[in-house]
Amino acid sequence: MMAGVAEDEEKWLAAGIAGLQQNAFYMHRAMDSNNLRDALKYSAQMLSELRTSKLSPHKYYELYMRAFDELRKVEIFFKEETQRGCSVVDLYELVQHAGNILPRLYLLCTVGSVYIKSKEAPAKDILKDLVEMCRGIQHPLRGLFLRSYLSQVSRDKLPDIGSEYEGDADTIMDAVEFVLQNFTEMNKLWVRMQHQGPAREKERREKERSELRDLVGKNLHVLSQIEGVDLDLYKETVLPRVLEQVVNCKDDIAQHYLMDCIIQVFPDEYHLQTLEILLDVFPQLQPSVDIKTVLSQLMERLSNYAALSAEALPEFLQVEAFSKLNNAIGKVIEAQADMPVFGAVTLYSSLLKFSLHVHPDRLDYADQVLGSCVKQLSGRGKIEDSKATKQIVALLSAPLEKYNNVVTALKLSNYPRVLEYLDNETNKVMASVVIQSVMKNNTRITTAEKVEALFELIKGLIKDLDGTAHDEVDEEDFKEEQNSVARLIQMLHNDDPEEMFKIISAVRKHILSGGSKRLPFTVPPLVFSSLKLVRQLQGQEENPFGDEAATTPKKIFQLLNQIIEALANIPVPDLALRLYLQCAEAANDCDLEPVAYEFFTQAYILYEEEISDSKAQITAIHLIIGTLQRMHVFGVENRDTLTHKATGYSAKLLKKPDQCRAVYACSHLFWVDDQDNMKDGERVLLCLKRALRIANAAQQMSNVTRGTTGSVTLFVEILNKYLYFFEKGNPQITVAAIQSLIEVITCEMQSDTSAADPTADAFFASTLRYIQFQKQKGGAAGEKYGPIKV
């Protein structure tokens, strides 16, 4: 069916072109023989082809263009006729004898052009006559093309200021009047197209109309090119007249296109000075007009204008551009009751961008925009529309991008209120944007208040919002998000301990609400951040003001205890254990024995109750040993308890080698270099001997189960420990003991049952080399090593 129509149309076009060419041929012949009468006759017949109603705009255009080319020749012919003595006035009458209106008017416009050029009559009179006569064509398509022809031939003949056709007085008004009238009529025709034909072809009609829109818009372009249209004329006449037409035509396609056109073709400076007039129109447009795009365009243009010319800025202030725009948007939204949220948000987003570009110093403007936006959003609940969401993200990102500083955004009181209308997913995205901004710009957030505000913004990442489905969250993404939060926590800093403490408390409050999945990510940075504060305080005098409320390490530790406890409860024992140990060490440095002890206790409890995996146990026990070794704050009793426990744990590890290693590590607990009261050589030896026993047992077990005695690595390791303590001057470690251990190892290595283990061999060899080296070094060490025979 449709193909049939297209085919037919092709045929009609071909027929039209054929008819046109045939008559053009006769016309040329008549023109060649200077036969005016025939030339007129055939030109009218030729133009009659344009009377067709069968062609779509596209095809009609094709026909029109051919006629247009011919009309150029007709115009030249008319010109020659006048040179041959035919008066142009007569010619002007002669062409009007044509019975059919369309050919008549095309010819009239053509002669009109010659007439104006002849300057026998004022251009304004001729133009006025032409534009008036064209009213006879009320068919939208034919009328549009005819008037477009008129516009085309008259363009260079307007009585513009400085033009050769300029008349006496007020001539510019005539030029403007002419273009305006042609524009008005063309727009009417264009709009009328919409109302013709059956309703089911609406879509096709709209498409056809959009193909024709530039014919109408060209008039505005012509207006903008008229030299004499200065700001006053534009403000007083041109703009009001154009807008009147825009409003009155009550057609959404036209309104959208024309508003856009106005904004595009006239200079920004004009827009700025006529902002009020222009903006007043928007609420009057049809509800279906896509105002947001147009208005956004305007704001964008104005922003660019402000950006490009600094001298324009005072003008912006002078005309109160911002408040006018803001008001206008409010009115538009009010007027267009069923405008989607998306539209409203887009408008505010554009306004915000405008405000940020033009008035970067006026943060209150930005806040005002957000406030208005909140007002619009209120009562609509969470926004479901994905486009709207996108726009809100754009809206919220704008200030961040502009100021490169979250702190500025934090000053916008309405910022978080807008956030509330986002769905959870987007909220998170937005929060990430905020965090990234902080990271990128290395923004320092220095007060608890700002921290509060910031956490309000990134709420989406900090805790579960209502109704989030956990299953849907991608594990990777989640990690990514939480890592960024962790990084953010590191960025919060203030040199003043009081404030820093407040910050920490604030952060704690927020992260504790984060739930078990988030705590493992958020707690460690907070803990370390707190410990940093502790170290800072530690350097200062204890409680310099004697003030109860003042921040003391003790208070921080209390806080830490709670925080880590939360982590332990999840449970994430490994992490909690590490943190406890970290805290204990910090407490140690602050000489707070009870606190340190408490932390250790917590760590031990965790070890006993929660850490059951043997590998985890190994790691944990080594951590405990390592930390405990460095603790100097404990009294003998406490230390004994703790070391005893640690040794006990070591011996209870599952695998023998692990036991062995843990036990020999425990030896260090009894020998701390720089503290004389903690050098208990005897117990060191006990540990080492116990380790040896375990190593032996391990060898035997291996022998029984696998038939080989396994590696001697453990022995070598223990030998190294022996050497270490020997060197440190532990009196209990004797040359004999070392000597016998070396022998045992050598023996083991030579035994038939031992499996070859190059690593262990190498290890042993280098240990021996070390002894050799020490011996040769001479001095105290050489003396000490001297008796050992290798």
Partner 1 sequence: MNFLIGAFKPPCNVSITFSDEGTRAQVSLKKDNGQSIMVPLFQNQESIIGEVIIEPLQGKKLEHTGVKIELLGQIELLFDKGNFYDFTSLVRELDVPGELYERKIYPFEFSNVEMPHESYNGVNVRLGFILKVTISRNIVGNIVECQDFVVRNYTPLPSINNSIKMEVGIEDCLHIEFEYSKSKYHLRDVIIGKIYFLLIRIKIKSMELEIRRRESTGFGSSTYVETETLAKYELMDSTPVRGMKNSGYNMLLIYFRSFTLQKLQMKLLITHDHVGESIPVRLFLRPYELTPTYRNINNKFSVKYYLNLVIVDGEDRRYFKQQEITVYRLLETP
Summarize as ranges the residues that interact with partner 1 (CB under 8 A).
Answer: 51, 93, 96-97, 99-102, 104, 132-133, 135-140, 142-143, 191-192, 195-196
Phi-psi sector, 404: left (phi>0), alpha (psi -120 to 50), beta: left
Q: Which is nearer to partner 1, 142 or 428 (CB)?
A: 142
CA–CA separation, 489 vs 485, rounded Å? 6
Q: How far is the CB of 6 from partner 1 (least distance, A)?
A: 24
Q: Which is nearer to partner 1, 184 or 336 (CB)?
A: 184
Q: Which is nearer to partner 1, 191 or 458 (CB)?
A: 191
CB half-sphere exposure, 110, CA atoms < 13 A: 27
* H or E segment to which residue 148 belongs: helix 140-154
Helices (H), 337-474: 341-358, 363-377, 386-403, 406-410, 415-419, 424-441, 448-457, 459-462
Q: How far is the CB of 1 from partner 1 (least distance, A)?
A: 23
> In DSSP terms, which residues pair with 492 in a beta bridge?
445
CA–CA separation, 281 vs 265, rounded Å? 17
Any long-range contacts for 631-636 (C-beta under 8 Å, 24+ apart)? 631/584, 631/585, 631/588, 631/596, 631/600, 632/588, 632/672, 632/675, 632/678, 633/587, 633/588, 633/591, 633/592, 633/593, 633/596, 634/593, 634/596, 634/597, 635/593
Q: Which is nearer to partner 1, 192 or 301 (CB)?
A: 192
Q: How far is the CB of 95 from partner 1 (least distance, A)?
A: 10
Q: Which is nearer to partner 1, 57 or 143 (CB)?
A: 143
Q: Which is nearer to partner 1, 131 or 179 (CB)?
A: 131
Q: How far is the CB of 136 from partner 1 (least distance, A)?
A: 5
CA dihedral 551, 557, 560, 566 (to 10 degrees): -130
DSSP 620-689: HHHHHHHHHHH-----HHHHHHHHHHHHHHHHT-SSHHHHHHHHHHHGGGGB-TT-GGGB-HHHHHHHHH
Q: Which is nearer to partner 1, 94 or 788 (CB)?
A: 94
Q: How far is the CB of 143 from partner 1 (least distance, A)?
A: 8
Cβ-contact 528, 557 below 8 angstroms: no
Q: How far is the CB of 98 from partner 1 (least distance, A)?
A: 9
CA–CA separation, 651 vs 625, rounded Å? 13
Q: How far is the CB of 111 from partner 1 (least distance, A)?
A: 14
Sequence-separated (6 or more) residues with CB below 8 Å from residue 439: 484, 487, 488, 491
Q: How far is the CB of 93 from partner 1 (least distance, A)?
A: 6
Assigned token pair, 307: 């950006």
Q: How far is the CB of 332 from partner 1 (least distance, A)?
A: 26
Find the distance separating the first CA and the last CA of the chain, reported in whole Å: 106
Bond into 571 cis (ω within 30)? yes
Q: How far is the CB of 51 from partner 1 (least distance, A)?
A: 7
Q: Which is nearer to partner 1, 140 or 416 (CB)?
A: 140
Cβ-contact 629, 670 below 8 angstroms: no
Q: Which is nearer to partner 1, 133 or 616 (CB)?
A: 133
Q: How far is the CB of 125 from partner 1 (least distance, A)?
A: 14
Q: Tell which residue, 629, 541, 532, 637, has the closest CA to residue 586.
A: 532
CA–CA separation, 186 vs 258, rounded Å? 12
Helices (H), 250-385: 252-265, 268-273, 275-281, 291-308, 313-318, 321-335, 341-358, 363-377
Any long-range contacts for 26-29 (C-beta under 8 Å, 24+ apart)? 27/70, 27/74, 28/73
Q: Which is nearer to partner 1, 121 or 651 (CB)?
A: 121
Q: Which is nearer to partner 1, 120 or 129 (CB)?
A: 129
CA–CA separation, 553 vs 596, rounded Å? 12
CB half-sphere exposure, 439, CA atoms < 13 A: 14
Q: Which is nearer to partner 1, 108 or 454 (CB)?
A: 108
Q: Which is nearer to partner 1, 140 or 343 (CB)?
A: 140
Cβ-contact 651, 659 below 8 angstroms: yes
> In DSSP terms, which residues pair with 679 in a beta bridge?
671
Q: Which is nearer to partner 1, 182 or 405 (CB)?
A: 182
Q: Which is nearer to partner 1, 44 or 341 (CB)?
A: 44
Cβ-contact 372, 330 below 8 angstroms: yes
Q: What is the CA radius of gyration of the chain?
A: 46
**What's the Cα-to-Cα distance from 192 to each of 36, 55, 138, rounded to whole Å?**
38, 17, 9
